[in-house]
Every structure is written in C-alpha cells, then in structure tokens.
Amino acid sequence: MEAEKAVLLVWQRSDESSDDVAYRMEELTGLCEAAGAKVVGSVIQRRRSPDARWYLGQGKVEHLRDLVAATGADLVVADAELKPTQARNLEDVVDRRIVDRTVLILDIFARRAVSREGKLQVEIAQLKYLLPRLAGRGAAWSRLGGGIGTRGPGESKLELDRRRIRARISKLEHELAALSAHRARLRQRRTRDSVVVALVGYTNAGKTTVRARWVADRGRVVEAAGRDRLFDTLDVTARRVFSPAGEPYVVTDTVGFVEDLPHHLVQAFRATLEEVAYADVIVIVVDASRAPDRHLRATRQVLADLGALDKPIVTFYNKMDVAVWQPPPDLEAQQTVYGSASAGDLEALYQAVEMRLHQAKETAK
C-alpha cells in the first residue's frame, strides 16, 4: 500500500529557538513515518499565541491550503493537540483530514498493541479523545475513509452516540482493571522470587535492544533485538537473567516516553507504567546520539509523575558508538555509565546494576 502523504503543521512559540523547532519537526516526521505516512511539506507559524479559530493566522491558512493542493497531501498533521473547533475549521478550508499529535500517537499505539491489555488501553484512550469531538463531525468523518486517525480499535466506534461511548469506556475499564489485577498478582509472585530491574526511557532510545542483549549475555535464552522504530514495545515484558554469581533477577521493559505524552495515554497506560514503581533498580536508557538532555528530562518527568524517583537509578547513555560527543554524567542518578547495546558494549551497565542489587540485598538483611 502506498504511504499517505502528510503536510506538517508546527507553531513556533515566541520564546522558542529555531533548533527547538527543528527538533520538534524531526520528531513529528518520525512519528508520521511510524504511522505509515510520508512527509511532503511543512508550514511553520511564528506568532505569540495560536489563533483561537484556525490555530493559524489567516495568511498561513491560505498557504496551507495551497501547499496541500500542490503536494497532493492526504492529511495535515499538527504538532499540538488542536481544539475540536480549530480542527473542524481547518478541515473545512483544506478539505483534508486534520490529525494532531495525540491522534498520531494513538494511531501508532493501535498498530503496535499486541496483548489484550495493550489493545484495551489504546481503545480507552481513543474513545476518551473522540468523545468531546463528535459534535458536528458527521460530514467530516463520512469523507475520511481509511488511513491515519481512522484505524485501530476506535474506528468502528465513531458512529456511536455519547451515551453508548461512555458505556463502552466503562466496560473496557472494568475489563482492564481485571487484567491489571491479574498482572499485579503475577508481579507479586515474580518479585517475591527475585529482584527487578526496570528499563525506562524515551521512545527509540534502545531499551528493547538493551534488554535483548542483556538476556543474551546474562540469560539462558537468546531473543531478538529491538527494531529502530518509535514505540516498538507497548506491553510489559519481563525476562529472568543471572549475575555471574548465579543470583537471579528480572529485567523489565515497557512503553517508551515522549515529551508531552498525551493525557489520555498517560491515564490509559498508567497501570502498565506503574510496573516501574515496583522495581528495585531503575535504568534510564538515553540515546546519546540524539538530544540526550531533552530526553533525560522527559523521562525523569514521567518517573516523577509515577512517584518512582526515590528508587536507585542508573543512567545508561546508549548508542555511544554513533554519538558525536559524550554527555555529562547524570548528577541525579546513583551512577552513570556509557556504552552501546547494538555493539554489545554493556558490561559496565551490568556491573553497575548488579552492584546496586547486591547493596540492596545487603541492606535488607
């Protein structure tokens, strides 16, 4: 199937540098590619605040309309969560789907969800996002067809009225709570038998590759490395490994973070993310080759929201084999180590984590 063509829409704040805007454009492009779209153009609006009616100024709206027509774009992707009226007004002028960052991430999550729990979390987030946006969208939705923003668990629910949507959300939340309770029992059984190391970090930092290498080096099975794509892992994965002394511990990996993770996703995935709060040691995996300071701040913000910053933390700067400089140590972590999962350079990370686990074990005696 041919990739959909997308035009990016970014508003540059008055206090924001060109480098910051370039970074956001790069990340939004990556999100589009993860959702199956090809970026064919962009519009940047520089103004003090977004227009209440259009999000853009009138001149930029006309420029966007002309750019969409010239490029044959199928949709417009905004880097912010648009108000329902703003999205509708832009759709009326451009005559194309207007997809904001939240819808884009939801679409990627709908593609990536594998387990029943993951699919429930995505559908709940989609329905909660759609609920206040249904009014007046009949004609607009009818011309959308397939594609980004219309697929996944929420696609078949667009015609439901608010009452039925709320009932559906309630039903899904009850089912999710039952699954979460079952996972909590499994977690208690797992943590009773061994200590837990949680891998966290920005999406595409390499957590899944780190875990796979960890299992290959310290485990008794070999698993495939992660792929270079955003949000490669949504569901919690746990693998048992062993220290050189033969002591077992569990390494877990879950969904990656992004800046300004949409509220609906934080709420829907909170039960999954809270696995981190039960870990004995947290490893923050940071891509040393791309905006490491920015990604580390975003990760720490999510950990703060989960109340997990009181855990022993080891910060691991990954992808040092392709980084152009060495980031400074994370002064808020108990230890900072450097290496590359793809190059098999993780021995310093293993030693740092296993030392923390040994210290925790000695303290507990």
Q: What is the DSSP string of 285-341?
A: EEETTS-HHHHHHHHHHHHHHTT-TTS-EEEEEE-TTT-SSPPPP-TTSSEEEE-BT
Q: Are strands 335-338 and 281-287 parallel, antiparallel or unpaired?
A: unpaired
pLDDT in tens, 241-267: 999 988 889 898 876 777 766 666 666
CATH value at residue 238: 3.40.50.300
Together in a domain, 269 and 147: no
pLDDT of res. 190: 56
pLDDT of res. 263: 60
pLDDT of res. 186: 67
CA distances 116 to 133, 180, 251, 297, 300, Å, are: 26, 11, 22, 31, 28
Q: How far apart are CA 81 and CA 100, in angstroms?
A: 5
Q: In the predicted model, what is the mean pLDDT of residues 15-43?
A: 89
Q: How far apart are CA 85 and CA 105, in angstroms?
A: 21
Domain count, the chain: 2
In a domain, 186, yes or no: no
pLDDT of res. 193: 59
In a domain, 164, yes or no: no
Going by pLDDT thresholds of 50, 70 and 90, the confidence category of residue 225 is low
Together in a domain, 238 and 360: yes
pLDDT of res. 155: 44
Going by pLDDT thresholds of 50, 70 and 90, the confidence category of residue 312 is very high
Q: In the predicted model, what is the mean pLDDT of residues 73-101?
A: 90
pLDDT of res. 230: 46
Together in a domain, 152 and 206: no
- Is residue 130 over pLDDT 90? no
- Is residue 364 over pLDDT 70? no
Contact indicator for 354, 283 with CB cutoff of 8 Å: no
Q: In the predicted model, what is the mean pLDDT of residues 282-303?
A: 92
Together in a domain, 130 and 227: no
- Is residue 142 over pLDDT 50? no
In a domain, 181, yes or no: no
Together in a domain, 252 and 124: no
The residue with greater pLDDT, 54 or 284, is 284
- Is residue 69 over pLDDT 90? yes
pLDDT of res. 143: 41
Together in a domain, 82 and 145: yes
pLDDT in tens, 36-57: 899 999 999 888 888 889 888 8
Contact indicator for 113, 119 with CB cutoff of 8 Å: yes
Contact indicator for 213, 235 with CB cutoff of 8 Å: no
In a domain, 184, yes or no: no
pLDDT of res. 123: 87
Together in a domain, 346 and 228: yes
In a domain, 137, yes or no: yes
Radius of gyration of the chain (CA): 22
pLDDT of res. 140: 44
Together in a domain, 144 and 290: no
Q: In the predicted model, what is the mean pLDDT of residues 147-170?
A: 66
Q: In the predicted model, what is the mean pLDDT of residues 142-155?
A: 52
In a domain, 45, yes or no: yes
Print the domain residue range for 26: 4-157
Contact indicator for 243, 354 with CB cutoff of 8 Å: yes
Together in a domain, 243 and 95: no
Going by pLDDT thresholds of 50, 70 and 90, the confidence category of residue 139 is very low
Together in a domain, 109 and 217: no
**In what order do the strands lie in the sheet containing 97-100?**
37-46, 4-12, 75-78, 97-100
- Is residue 147 over pLDDT 70? no
pLDDT of res. 339: 97
In a domain, 42, yes or no: yes
CATH value at residue 23: 3.40.50.11060
- Is residue 136 over pLDDT 60? no
Q: How would you label 11-38 residue by residue, b for 16+ Cβ within 10 Å and e otherwise?
A: bbeeeeeeeebebbbebbbebbbbbbbe
In a domain, 172, yes or no: no
pLDDT of res. 27: 87
- Is residue 343 over pLDDT 60? yes
Together in a domain, 214 and 137: no
Together in a domain, 277 and 228: yes
Q: In the predicted model, what is the mean pLDDT of residues 336-350?
A: 95
pLDDT in tens, 204-222: 888 989 998 999 998 865 5
